[in-house]
Amino acid sequence: MVTYTFAVLPACSSPTNRFRFSALSHDAVLAGRHVNDISVRVRKSSKNTSTSLSEKEFYNLLINKYLMTDEQLTRNGYPRAVPGEDGLVSIAQSHFEISKSQKSWAAKDDLDRLCSRCHKEFRLDPKGKVVSAECIYHYKGLQRRGGMRGESYFACCGADRTTPGCCVADAHVSDTLNAEALREFTPTPVSRGESDPRNFKVYAMDCEMVYGVWGPELARVSVVDMDNKLVLDLIVKPHNTVIDYNTRFSGLTANQVETSTIDLFEAQNRLFELVNERSILIGHSLESDLKAMRLRHERVVDTAVVFEHR
């Protein structure tokens, strides 16, 4: 039997360890969009030891030791049900979102945005058209050479902090979403009973997003099981016009996304074939993936919480 150990390791700058455009590694599924910051690896033991776990044993271990509490779900920005309001969720700003100094949700008539890349203010077109504007930015943040007292430089190009961006785009993008989307969330299905095979399933899930005119939209959902097998991998066509396919990080091209025949609703239903409300989903900052999928699910192991940066 296979023994699984989760380990968080520093990311290597070697190109061989970076997420490749056309490939989807299982490390990438576990680490999600933070794969450049950490690596979350599933190691297979070469020995058949007495500590090997069945999926149900692993499930129970996660339930008892690593499952997020209600307070943790709320504090980390997970979609939560609003009592008496069917379909409506509340989502608190996570620490990561607060650090970006950008509003997570905006009213329908609020068209003011802050660019997620160059941090300039801009305004959306009320009809959902792409607003052309030069966006000069660095695609990676600042780091320091030689520790905390060292010189700051941009990790993408090595330039110092006073250097203008190394990338140019023809439109701004924002992570702010329309608040009306808070009424579009679907809970994962209820169990069909004790014989439901989804009840004790454990999966790692990651989603890739592209930048649309009204904010990030789902473009890919990938799921691996306890045997490290890719059990679901769907490219999803966004509902709104896409500004940036985020290819450097998502690995997706415009052709892949635009030729997909799968929409968000079908992606949800395909996932529901694997999971119900009792299944456990593992991911790194999984609240972003659930928001992209427009899902509410509460049995979560978040590696960003389990292996919190100190």
Least confident of 9-23, 107-121, 164-178, 232-246: 9-23
- Write out pLDDT tens, residues 28-62: 444 455 444 444 444 544 444 445 889 999 999 99
From 258, 99, 110, select the one nearest 180 (Cα to Cα): 110
State residue 103's pLDDT score. Answer: 86
Cα–Cα–Cα angle for 133, 134, 140, nearest 5°?
Answer: 125
State residue 309's pLDDT score. Answer: 63
Instruction: Decide the pairing of beta strands 167-171 and 121-123.
Output: unpaired
pTM confidence score: 0.80
Q: Are 244 and 117 in contact (CB under 8 A)?
A: no
Please name the residue that has the structure tokens 């490219």.
235
- Write out pLDDT tens, residues 54-74: 999 999 999 999 999 999 999
Q: Are 90 and 80 in contact (CB under 8 A)?
A: yes
**In which band, very low, low, confident or very high, does the pLDDT at 101 lie, cut at 50, 70 and 90?**
low
Enter the tokens of residue 196. 């439901």
SS3 content of the chain, % helix, strand, coil (to 5): 20, 30, 50
Calculate the average pLDDT of the chain: 85
CA separation for the pair 291, 75 (Å, rounded):
15
- Write out pLDDT tens, residues 206-229: 999 999 999 999 999 999 999 999
CA separation for the pair 231, 229 (Å, rounded):
6
The contacts of residue 276 (CB under 8 Å, 6+ apart) are 188, 189, 190, 191, 192, 196, 198, 199
